[in-house]
Amino acid sequence: MLNLRRGNSTEGSNPSLSAFFICGGIVFVEPGEKVRVRFAPSPTGYLHVGGARTAIFNWLFAKKYGGNFLLRIEDTDAARSGEDMVAAILDGMSWLGLDWDDDVVFQSKRLEVYDEFVNQLIDCGRAYKCYCTKDEIEANRQLAKSENRDYRYNHDRRCNHLTQSEIQTYDKAEMPYAVRLLLPEGKTKFVDAVYGEITVEHSQLDDFIIRRSDGYPTYHLAVVVDDHEMQISHILRGDDHLSNTPKHIQIYHALGWDLPKYCHLPLILGKDKQRLSKRHGATAIGEYEKAGYLSVAMLNFLTLLGWSSGDDRELFSRDELVDTFSEKGIQKKSAVFDEKKLEWMNGQYLNALEQSEFYQLVTAQLLNTNAIDELFISKDSAYLRRMSELIQPRIKRLSEIGEMTGYFFKDPESYDQKALNKHWKAADQITRFEQIQQRLGTIALFSIEEIEAVIRGYAEELQVGAGKILQPLRLAVTGIAATPGMFEIMELLGKDTVLRRLQAAISYLKKNPVSSSTINAA
């Protein structure tokens, strides 16, 4: 692991980094500076939350400073890259509302460009061909291990000392070779917007490979060439790339190019404080879309992972995030992905929607699950709108709609067993249901007010709290233990449906009495 020495002093730093400093502080964006940032995923997997968070920070940064946000697909690993994954990345970006400028850049279409710069580095003596095989390098590594020392290729730089005649002989024999960057002695210093000044001794590095023996560029070479040619001014990426930055800076120096400015973002952790991975649950953005999260809620939630507006505010509109975002709010501490927090936030956004917009989401979800059809919508839109009003304050995810609304469309086929054992254990429960059924049947106008008067009046007669009547009634009418207000539900379902369901509950209890042994067994 690299020893990244961190400090605040600028003494002895590379002159090309001087724009980072004003009065000892980091200035990440100079007045009038043209901002161009990029998101550069590798399509060896779907767009996960860590990558999406990086894309969001870059997008917000570009929007904040009136700059450009570019998209590059780093697909030089042909064996692991897939078109379906590229499509999923683009779909995830679009779902989050992260629009990009210019055409998408694909590294696989730029191999000749990388070759050009590799050859340029060889010609100017800043890179050299390495004909060593993997077996030879592994043997040297094992030898170093047996001698209790670190192995680095630049300890002997065997292939850098080959004569021109030897190189010509190897090339004539078509021996495969990689290309290594020749590192100078000394150290690399750079400044990061989050971590400050960082120093890396070159003795810790190696003459790293910039083109593999299969002819493909390594990540280090391709990313530098692309960032230069795309005129990227600022690089915001995960801090797992912090140790790559000295290598990239050396390629910039070798090619005589100006450096971009760096900002490395904290990692996202699971609740166990380990790096977020599939073992923590869904991490691909597409899974959260399927699970019923709103894109604006996901955008808001991911923005707050590793960034703070400086106060306790948690809910922002898209425009408010753009206005408020600043690199100064990016934190060093790794952020914890809390799905319960995301669910809460999503519920806040759902509850804040205009009722007409929420209604559209509800009907779309019910159509997708075949709970209703277009004919139902055209005939019973008033029923659906009222149902939507009732569930909106309670819903956390759109995928809950089916579970939360099933009883609005069909009678319960079963009853929640835990709730049954708790709420139907009264010895006279059947009698209570029969008396409620009889009294509700006498209501001429089946309204909330009339229903409530009957239920509360009956509770007073029994000298029990209204909840002792409502909870058993809720289970009988809906089959579940948690719902919106029962008076509102009963009014919407109508008298015939409520009485029919009460009769079904009575019949169930006569066949399946809730005894103390049943309760204990549960």
| pTM, full prediction | 0.88
Alpha-helical runs (H) found in 269-406:
285-290, 295-303, 318-324, 339-352, 355-368, 374-379, 381-391, 401-405
Annotated active-site residue 340? The verdict is: no
Of the candidates 1, 6, 3, 2, the residue with the CA atom closest to the CA atom of residue 332: 6
Alpha-helical runs (H) found in 97-209:
111-123, 134-146, 164-172
Residue 46, number of CB atoms within 10 A of its CB: 20
Asked if 247 and 274 touch (Cβ cutoff 8 Å), the reply is no
Asked if 321 and 299 touch (Cβ cutoff 8 Å), the reply is yes
What does the alpha-carbon distance between residue 146 and residue 161 come to, in Å, rounded to a whole number?
A: 25
- Domain 278-349: give its CATH code: 1.10.1160.10
- Report the run of H or E that residue 200 belongs to, with start and end: strand 196-201
Contacts of 351 (CB under 8 A, 6+ apart): 392, 393, 395
What does the alpha-carbon distance between residue 467 and residue 145 come to, in Å, rounded to a whole number?
A: 73
List 34, 109, 145, 278, catalytic entry: 278
103 secondary structure, DSSP code: P
Q: Which CATH number fits domain 353-408: 1.10.760, 1.10.8, 3.30.465, 3.30.420?
A: 1.10.8
Of the candidates 517, 513, 518, 519, the residue with the CA atom closest to the CA atom of residue 428: 513
What does the alpha-carbon distance between residue 478 and residue 493 come to, in Å, rounded to a whole number?
A: 10
The single residue listed with the structure tokens 């021109």 is 164
- Domain 417-521: give its CATH code: 1.10.10.350
Walk along the chain (522 residues) and give the pLDDT tens digit of each residue: 456 655 543 333 333 333 333 323 458 999 999 999 999 999 988 999 999 999 999 999 999 999 999 999 999 887 788 899 999 999 999 999 999 999 999 999 999 999 999 999 999 999 999 999 999 988 988 988 888 888 888 778 999 999 999 999 999 999 999 999 999 999 999 999 999 999 999 989 999 999 999 999 999 999 999 999 999 999 999 999 999 999 999 999 999 999 999 999 999 998 888 888 767 766 899 999 999 999 999 999 999 999 999 888 999 999 999 999 999 999 999 999 999 999 999 999 999 999 999 999 999 999 999 999 999 999 999 999 999 999 999 999 999 999 999 999 999 999 999 999 999 999 999 999 999 999 999 999 999 999 999 999 999 999 999 999 999 999 999 999 999 999 999 999 999 999 999 999 999 999 999 865 444 333
- Token representation of residue 262: 């760096």
Asked if 285 and 50 touch (Cβ cutoff 8 Å), the reply is no
Domain boundaries, the chain: 278-349, 353-408, 417-521
Contacts of 192 (CB under 8 A, 6+ apart): 198, 242, 245, 262, 263, 264
Contacts of 17 (CB under 8 A, 6+ apart): 10, 189, 190, 191, 259
What does the alpha-carbon distance between residue 70 and residue 55 come to, in Å, rounded to a whole number?
A: 10
